[in-house]
Structure formats: C-alpha cells, structure tokens
Amino acid sequence: MRGTDNKAKLKHVIEAKQFSERKMLQEIFSKADDMAAKDAKGKLPQSLKGKRVASFFYEESTRTRFSFEAAILALGGKVVSTEKASQFSSVAKGETLTDTIKILNCYVHAIIMRHNIKGSAKIASETSKVPVINAGDGQGEHPTQALLDIYTIQKEIGRIDNLSIAMIGDLRYGRTVHSLVYLLESCKGVKIYFVSPKSLRMPEEYLKGLKDAGIQFEETEDLNKVLDKVDILYVTRIQKERFENPEEYEKVKGYYTVNKETLKKIKKDAIIMHPLPRVTEIDPEIDDDPRAAYFRQARNGLYIRMALLDIILG
C-alpha cells in the first residue's frame, strides 16, 4: 500500500477485518513508530491542518476519546465534540442516526463515533460522505483498539505470530476481544484460551471465524489452568452497563483477579494487557511489574490513532 492506495482502501474504519492484510498492519505500525519518534522530538507533521474532526460519543470514554482528540490536535487539526451525545445533542430530541450523520457531514471532514448499538458504525458509514471511524459500537467491535492491541504485542514481544494468548473476563459483550480475535485470524501459529464464566463465553460467530481460519482455541472457566501456558494475558472488565438484569451481573462481578499470586504462575517474559478501565480484575499492586503492559498499551493508542488519521486525512 502506498499513498493514494491507502486512502482508497481506508476511507472508513468500521471493523477489524479491514486490517487483516499483514502489509497494511506493518505500514500502520511503521507510521505509528514514526509518529512516536517525531512526537518525542516535538516535530510531528501538521498533516491535519485545516481539517475539522467530529468527536461524537454516545457513550462515556476516556482513553479512546482523549487519545483521538489529542492526536487530532497534535497533527494540526481541530476537534468539534460533545459529551454524551445521546443527551447533549438533537439525538435527545429523537433525531435519527442517519440524520445526525448527514448534518455532521455539513461541518466536518471526518467523524469519530462511539455508539451504544452494535452495527451503528456501519450504518453511519453507509450514509456519510466523509470518513467515519468506529470508536466502539455497543457489544460489536472496537477496531482501533484491536490495532493498538496488536501493535502493543508487536512492541512488547517482538512478534505477532507463534503466540499463545488468554482472553479473560467478559467475552460475550467485550467488543475489544471481538475485534482482536478478527486480527488474530490473520496471524500464524496462534493459540487462544478463552477464559470466562459460562454466561460470558465468546459468541459463536467469532469462534466460527477462528475455526474457518484454522486457529486453535480452548474454552475454560479456570484461569489457573492456562497461566503457565500463555505469552499474553488479555484481561477485560466484566461490563456492568451491558447487563439488563442486575442480578446476573452480581453473579459474575469479580470473577477473576490478576494479582501478585498470579504473577508467580505466569511466564517471566509474559505480558499483561487490559483495554481499561479496570475495576477489580487487576490489582494495582502489580502495576510496577515490568510484565504489566496496560498503561504502555494505552499510550500506544495515541500513536496508532495518529497513524490512522494521517492515512485517512493527511
């Protein structure tokens, strides 16, 4: 992929499968590395100068929203945003998603959108004439998170092939693991251990994709069973906001906790990742352990999002 080819292939960012080509991944990684190096020297390109980008979030966000907005500003662009768009925009008056997207098209050069409904980003992209970037659509996908996750694996371990990874926690509703699974389908020699309560197992549609791709996986409730087998612990929060029945949440909250006892059982060169925010599933007592990569992971998100914005709008 070069120059105009990038833009032709990457107008919208809707799902992780768009990045299944290794060549595309490596280009994004290379550009993210370049952005990080230039940021350290205070010499970031102003490739978004004159561009306005809507930061339109129906749901709360810290890392995704702020890293995108910081990336836009650092590259010379301007941000048009609202907090909790479902309340503080005409959405609260009953405006449809398609009408909202048509209106935003009148004002900005791109839209970064988080929505509470699965499939909303695809609907928005079908309406929008300007690029739409999916910043999370309900329990669907979070493609830019998957990109920063696999970029973190590359940086921390030095490869994205021949790995074993445990995905732990809320696999049913967790859009970050859904998107990461799609990217792992294109990797070689990968084995995945899905560790969750029975009620929060990985949905069948994602397991089918792994079977079709020939990726090995196992499902278990027992975290201790896999600790010494994996290179990566990818821990997720059990998401209270996704449960319609509070009693069901109470049954599974705090199901897993990664702590100092866990560290004694994992490989010395394993890494611990988490898309954050965390609640009780990772004890802060392990934050200073070199294997705890989750804050470095969050930092990587800034440069991956810079790279995407530069490719799409630069």
Match 């612990």 to its residue by tokens: 233
State the first-to-last Cα distance of the chain, in angstroms, to the nearest integer: 15
- 114 as an active site residue: the answer is yes
Smallest Cα–Cα separation from 76: which of 53, 100, 107, 102?
Answer: 53
The one catalytic residue among 12, 31, 51, 64: 64
Which sign does the torsion angle of CA 255, 292, 192, 23 carry? positive
Q: Round to whole Å and give the CA distance between 246 and 56.
A: 28
Structure tokens at 218: 């196992």
The one catalytic residue in 65, 114, 172, 274 is: 114
User: Is the Cβ–Cβ distance between 194 and 256 less than 8 Å?
Assistant: no
As averages over each run of 10 residues, the pLDDT of the chain (314 residues) reads 48 93 94 98 97 92 94 98 69 82 97 93 96 92 96 97 96 92 93 93 92 94 96 88 67 84 96 94 96 98 98 92
Whether 31 is a known active-site residue: answer no
Same CATH topology for 3-141+299-313 and 143-298? yes
Q: Are strands 132-137 and 164-168 parallel, antiparallel or unpaired?
A: unpaired
At 242 the pLDDT is 64
Catalytic residue among 63, 78, 84, 118: 63
Annotated domain spans of the chain: 3-141+299-313, 143-298
pLDDT, tens only, 108-145: 999 999 998 999 999 999 999 999 999 999 888 999 99
Residue 82: phi, psi to the nearest 5?
Answer: -145, 145
Q: Which of 31, 65, 142, 274 is catalytic?
A: 142
Q: Is 96 a catalytic residue?
A: no
Homologous superfamily (CATH) of 143-298 is Aspartate/ornithine carbamoyltransferase (3.40.50.1370)
Tokens standing for residue 305: 């999002």
pLDDT at 306: 98
Q: Which CATH superfamily is domain 3-141+299-313 in?
A: Aspartate/ornithine carbamoyltransferase (3.40.50.1370)
Question: Two tokens at 128?
Answer: 């929008």
Among 169, 131, 136, which residue's Cα sits nearest to residue 61?
Answer: 136
Token readout for 306 is: 């810079």
Distance CA 287, CA 297 (A): 13
Q: Residue 257 corresponds to which amino acid?
A: T
In this prediction the pTM is 0.90
Catalytic residue status for 225? no
**142 labelled catalytic:** yes
Catalytic choice (2, 23, 41, 93): 93
Q: How far apart are CA 303 and CA 310, in angstroms?
A: 10
The phi, psi pair for 287, rounded to 5°, reads -60, -30
